A and B are shown apart, each in its own frame.
Chain A
Amino acid sequence: MINESIAYLLLNIDKYYEAVIVHVEISLAAIAVSFMVAVPLGIWCSKNGSVSYSVINAFTILRIIPSLAVLVIAMPILGTGFVPALFALTLLAIPPILINTYSGFRNIDPSVLECAAGMGMNTEKILFGIEIPLAMPLILTGLRTSATEVIASATLASYIGAGGLGDFIFTGIGMNDARILLIGGMSVALLSALTEVSLTAVQHMVTKYQRD
């Protein structure tokens, strides 16, 4: 079975490479965009107590909507292809990062911030020198969750014609061909695992001060 899969893979290696590249591209783009939206938004929420509830709640609700539904809803508005898929995946990736950024900032001991201000650090120094580093372990946990979700859900992007490893999976299902299905499935799993491992390593580095 595995041998047959490899044989098929070698025959279709160009198509496979392209699918991997598209899959990685779309995932990276979605993660990057959501990170750039969710981190500042999370920080802003943590400092504006009154509105934060509504924002956080809105995104939590968003999280319950299955990613496929988001894709399907996005399609009539944004059409098919890369952009709507990216949009849907970004939306999917925002909540974990947002919520974790928010809690990361909220969990900082207020006396640490009071001391920093009292010592004469300005807002910028406190943000970049104290708050972000202290919230980073949690932000990275959010990023890990998002990244894993995005890589898995990017499979669905092929449904709206964005390409990626989903093409192999859906072809496999459609043609009832386990070889093809296996190639797609294994590759997605591998990508997920790789992301998980590398992000865990990064997280390990930034939490060094919490150990030994």
Chain B
Amino acid sequence: MARTAIEFRNVSKQYANTSQYAVAGVNMRISEGSFITILGTSGSGKTTLLKMVNRIYEATSGEILYFGEHIKNLKLEEYRRKIGYVIQQVGLFPHMTVEENIGAIPQILRWDTDTIANRVNALLELVCLSPRDFKKRYPRQLSGGQQQRVGLARAMAADPDIMLMDEPFGAIDAITRQNLQEELIRIQRKLNKTILFVTHDVSEAFKLGDKVVIMHEGTIQQFDTPYGIISKPANEYVARLIATQDIVQRLKVLKAQSVMLPVDAQVSDRAFRVGTEESLHNILTYFLEHDQNHVLVEDGGRGVVGKITWEQLKVSTRQGKILSA
């Protein structure tokens, strides 16, 4: 069992001079190493929820725990250094080079010069920027995408346990955003960071998150895996929100296991076999590319456990749509 990295206990936030709660009564446990996306429309309280974790905003009531400790009892600066922070506006220090930006916190932590230099190089490589070309540049001399890569590298400089990201790719073009998303997934797998990632883009939330938090008017509507949300939306609001997803996106989230039909006694040997976790999107692609109309679903040790036919694929896609319509 993974430890709980962050726990929200009945957390609410009301800004001064406002009548409504921006976040109301949030309870949630986030396991160490998980990638959590926070999804919701504008004004739903995503940013507020996120920024209470590193105490940019203070909760009005309730408690937030960091590995079991009340964050209010931790020394603010030391605590924040364990939490990487990336925002849409990037916020690089304009008067410092890329190298100095990334090295800022290590410098405060008094790492020696060689260690910092090595760390900077390694981080730049990690975010796919060549240290030789980029180290000495000022933020002004980088494209938006490159700036956000540096922002990501800087946030990871002191090897934080947790990363808070507020719409980091929100201002970046679609293609670059896709690349960055994939790199972030790769980095997360590699370093096993706990990530809280805010977005209002449904497909981004579903693509990145192991689990998705859906927020509306300051409350959590559903906190589940992408599959759990698509197959069983908790309420009308969630259903409407994910209905904006196109079919292809939904097929990417639906797994073979969830729609397969039981197999007859006799199994045709020649049929293509897929794993239980294979996405319907890949199966559809296979059907179209190879002009086939069924595949067998195999579960490692247990052999063939089901099959998916063209008809079944159509039915379940439509069901998915009905479920979320």
The interface-forming segment of B37-45, B76-84, B181-189 is: B76-84
Q: Which of B85, B104, B140 contacts A118 (CB 8 A)?
A: B85
Give the chain B neighbours of A120 by CB distance below 8 A.
76-81, 83, 105, 108, 158
Please report which residues of chain A, range 102-130, place their CB below 8 angstroms from some CB of chain B when the two chains form the complex.
109, 111-122, 125, 129-130
**Contact between B108 and A115 (Cβ–Cβ < 8 Å)?**
no
Closest to B157 in A: A119
Complex alpha-carbon distance, A122 and B56, angstroms = 13
Give the chain B neighbours of A24 by CB distance below 8 A.
none
**Contact between A119 and B80 (Cβ–Cβ < 8 Å)?**
yes
**Contact between A114 and B80 (Cβ–Cβ < 8 Å)?**
no
Give the chain B neighbours of A130 by CB distance below 8 A.
93
**Size of A's binding interface in residues, CB under 8 A:** 21
Give the chain A neighbours of B89 by CB distance below 8 A.
109, 111
**Contact between A125 and B108 (Cβ–Cβ < 8 Å)?**
yes
Please report which residues of chain A, range 124-169, place their CB below 8 angstroms from some CB of chain B when the two chains form the complex.
125, 129-130, 133-134
A134 and B77 contact, Cβ closer than 8 Å, known pairs A115-B85, A118-B56: no
**Contact between B138 and A209 (Cβ–Cβ < 8 Å)?**
yes
**Residue B54 lies at the interface, judged by CB distance under 8 Å to chain A:** yes
Complex alpha-carbon distance, A92 and B164, angstroms = 48
Q: Inter-chain contact count A-B, CB under 8 Å?
A: 69
**Residue B303 lies at the interface, judged by CB distance under 8 Å to chain A:** no
Give the chain B neighbours of A50 by CB distance below 8 A.
none
CB 8 Å contact bits of A196-212 with B (1 = contact, 0 = none): 00000000000001101
Give the chain A neighbours of B77 by CB distance below 8 A.
120-122
**Size of B's binding interface in residues, CB under 8 A:** 30
A121 to chain B, nearest CB (A): 7
A119 and B104 contact, Cβ closer than 8 Å, known pairs A111-B87, A209-B138, A210-B140: yes
Please report which residues of chain B, range 57-89, place their CB below 8 angstroms from some CB of chain A when the two chains form the complex.
76-81, 83, 85, 87, 89
**Contact between B78 and A112 (Cβ–Cβ < 8 Å)?**
no
Complex alpha-carbon distance, A83 and B140, angstroms = 47
B265 to chain A, nearest CB (A): 61
A109 and B95 contact, Cβ closer than 8 Å, known pairs A119-B85, A119-B104, A120-B81: no
**Contact between B56 and A112 (Cβ–Cβ < 8 Å)?**
no
CB 8 Å contact bits of B310-321 with A (1 = contact, 0 = none): 000000000000
Complex alpha-carbon distance, A134 and B140, angstroms = 14
**Contact between A121 and B108 (Cβ–Cβ < 8 Å)?**
yes
Closest to B138 in A: A209
B42 to chain A, nearest CB (A): 18
B157 to chain A, nearest CB (A): 8
Complex alpha-carbon distance, A93 and B325, angstroms = 69
Complex alpha-carbon distance, A114 and B141, angstroms = 22
B101 to chain A, nearest CB (A): 10
Please report which residues of chain B, range 103-143, place their CB below 8 angstroms from some CB of chain A when the two chains form the complex.
104-105, 108, 138, 140-141
Complex alpha-carbon distance, A116 and B95, angstroms = 13
Complex alpha-carbon distance, A101 and B93, angstroms = 19
**Residue B154 lies at the interface, judged by CB distance under 8 Å to chain A:** yes
Complex alpha-carbon distance, A109 and B89, angstroms = 9
**Residue B23 lies at the interface, judged by CB distance under 8 Å to chain A:** no
A50 to chain B, nearest CB (A): 15
Complex alpha-carbon distance, A42 and B219, angstroms = 42
**Residue B155 lies at the interface, judged by CB distance under 8 Å to chain A:** yes
**Contact between B94 and A114 (Cβ–Cβ < 8 Å)?**
no
**Residue B262 lies at the interface, judged by CB distance under 8 Å to chain A:** no
Give the chain A neighbours of B104 by CB distance below 8 A.
119, 121, 129
**Residue B90 lies at the interface, judged by CB distance under 8 Å to chain A:** yes
Q: Which of A111, A134, A209 contacts B91 (CB 8 A)?
A: A111
29 pairs, A vs B, C-beta closer than 8 Å: A109-B89, A109-B91, A109-B94, A111-B89, A111-B90, A112-B93, A113-B91, A115-B91, A117-B56, A117-B80, A118-B80, A118-B87, A119-B80, A119-B81, A119-B154, A120-B78, A120-B80, A120-B83, A120-B105, A120-B158, A121-B104, A121-B108, A122-B77, A129-B104, A130-B93, A133-B95, A134-B94, A209-B140, A210-B94
- Measuring CB to CB, which residues of chain A are less than 8 angstroms from any residue of chain B? 109, 111-122, 125, 129-130, 133-134, 209-210, 212
Closest 4 CB pairs of A and B: A115-B91, A120-B80, A111-B89, A120-B81
- Measuring CB to CB, which residues of chain B are less than 8 angstroms from any residue of chain A? 54, 56, 76-81, 83, 85, 87, 89-96, 104-105, 108, 138, 140-141, 151, 154-155, 158, 164
Q: Told that A112-B94, A119-B81, A120-B80 touch, could you supply 10 new A-B pairs with CB distance under 8 A?
A: A111-B90, A115-B85, A115-B91, A115-B151, A117-B80, A118-B56, A120-B78, A122-B77, A130-B93, A209-B140
